[in-house]
Amino acid sequence: MNKTYFIGVDIGTQGARVALLDEAGKLISAHDQAFALTENSREEQSPQEWWEITSLLMEAVLNEARPSIDLSLVKAIAVTSTSGTIIPIDKDGHPLHAALMYSDQRSGEEAARCKAAAEENRIPGYRAFNTSSGLPKMLWFLDHFPEQAEKLSKFIHASDFITGRLCGEYAVTDYTNALKSGFDLHHLTWPEYLSGLGIRKEWLQEVKPSGTPIAPLRKDLAEKWGLPANVTVTTGMTDGCVSQVASGAVQPGQWNTTIGTTLVIKGVTRNEIRDETGAIYNHRHPEGYWMPGGASNTGADWVTKLFGNRDLAALNAKAAELIPTGLTAWPLLQKGERFPFFAPQAAGFWNEDWKEEELFAACMEGVAYVERYAYERIRELSGERVDRVFSAGGGSNSDVWLSIRSTVLQVPVQKMKNTSGAAGAAVLAASGTYYASLSEAAEAMIRPEKVVEPVPSMISNYEWGYCNFIVELKKRNIL
């Protein structure tokens, strides 16, 4: 039986990746390449370099796949990239400035203006504008380059630039990219207060659900790469949301925890979660659900910084014999926490006299306690159940840590196979062109590598450990 194939493109902060999957989620080929980073790459990057590298990776992936599959059966392409990165373009799609990266801190004054305007106008939804948001970067560009205003055709996002290069259409974006650019996800419109900030409506894109078909692949690219003329390019999705897709957490009650440098939790609810602290914010699901989530300053950075030159396999083996440890630690390595609670004064803690295997195990437990607090807060605010947790990121590579987390959370934790952003983008491409929905595409294309269940004999000890952790946070005036 002939298969159908989908391509996902991921433009990250440090490099790009392209992946080719079939309709069952099997990875056929994937290639990646790093960008030539400079000292100011956290502020500005070249969109043209992204495109040149993407083109090379497309050729590499398709050339590798050509002997084993029929490229005429490639059906769709979708792109993911960082949220909050903005590119001003002219009417021909040429950048008027380098990409203003989400990590660019120069728009602090503009962010304060955006936040004040959103709150003054009582905008439902996202108001917590900061320097990582897209809207302040638009204002920063206009403030610093007013002479470019008459040349400006659109403000677009990072994934939109590659999408535009693929199909020639730059005037369309998706719900997830538009959120931090000020789009009202409740009324599905650009709000009036943006004009008061100096943002003209003609500079803003049409906004559609992620995975919506936009246009066919450019004819010259189809011929160059040996692809059919009817390959469809769809709207994209931000990197955090597409990682959630790749994990399989796409239906109500399903949640994904990614433990990398930080801990990021995203899930699906039927109703919007309203959090007045701003720690939790909501994206819009292509099927009309909500995709709430938040990012903690707690994560797995402590593994490298505290145990970087140690034998991690040996430490995991020793930790397996110690858990539950009965120790209380919080491996927060920077000052301040933003999720699941806002505490700018917070500082991590542990006992310097512990043996290194005790510290290693206690830190894994501490992160699990933060994760549990997050899910308890989510349940409280949403009134909805958390049925299961999918797991991604480097923290998922430790079976001991997966077991700790499952037992602390008292739900199964599933580690998935293809959790790259490019794989998630390929699933997104399939959702609007081959399957009836994102839920259907995920069900068909995403498979668990392993499922870890709570350990019954450890549950009571971890209940005690979690309570002690909360007490310690209260003692330190963090909660």
94 class by beta-carbon count within 10 Å (0-12 exposed, 13-18 middle, 19+ buried): exposed
pLDDT at 281: 86
E strand spans, 169-310? 172-174, 206-208, 213-216, 232-234, 237-238, 254-259, 263-267, 281-284, 290-296
Q: Tell me the two tokens of residue 63.
A: 């050339």
One-letter amino acid at 280 equals: I
Three-state SS at 27: strand
Cα–Cα distance, 345 to 276 (Å, whole number)? 19
Cβ proximity of 30 and 424 under 8 Å:
no
Predicted confidence at residue 431, as pLDDT, reads 97
Nearest-angstrom CA–CA distance, 88 and 94: 8
pLDDT of residue 385: 87
DSSP-based three-state secondary structure for 415: strand
Sorted by sequence, the CB contacts under 8 Å of residue 474 that are 6+ apart come out as none
Where is 11: in which H helix or E strand? strand 5-11
Angle at 356 between CA 353 and CA 361, to 5 degrees: 110
Give the H or E element holding residue 45.
strand 44-45
Please give the pLDDT value at position 280.
Answer: 87
**Predicted TM-score of the model (pTM):** 0.88
Contact 455, 273 (CB under 8 A): no
pLDDT values of the chain reduced to their tens digit, one per residue, 479 residues: 679 999 999 999 889 999 999 999 999 999 999 999 888 998 999 999 999 999 999 999 999 999 999 999 999 999 999 889 999 999 999 999 999 999 899 999 999 999 999 999 888 878 889 898 999 999 999 999 999 999 999 999 999 999 999 999 999 999 999 999 999 999 999 999 999 999 999 999 999 999 999 999 999 999 999 999 999 999 999 988 998 999 899 999 999 998 888 888 999 999 999 887 778 889 999 999 999 988 888 989 999 999 988 999 999 999 999 999 999 999 999 889 988 988 889 999 999 999 999 999 999 999 999 999 999 999 999 999 888 899 887 888 899 999 999 999 999 999 988 888 999 999 999 999 999 999 999 999 998 889 999 999 999 999 999 999 999 999 999 99
Assess contact for 230 and 150: CB atoms under 8 A.
Answer: no
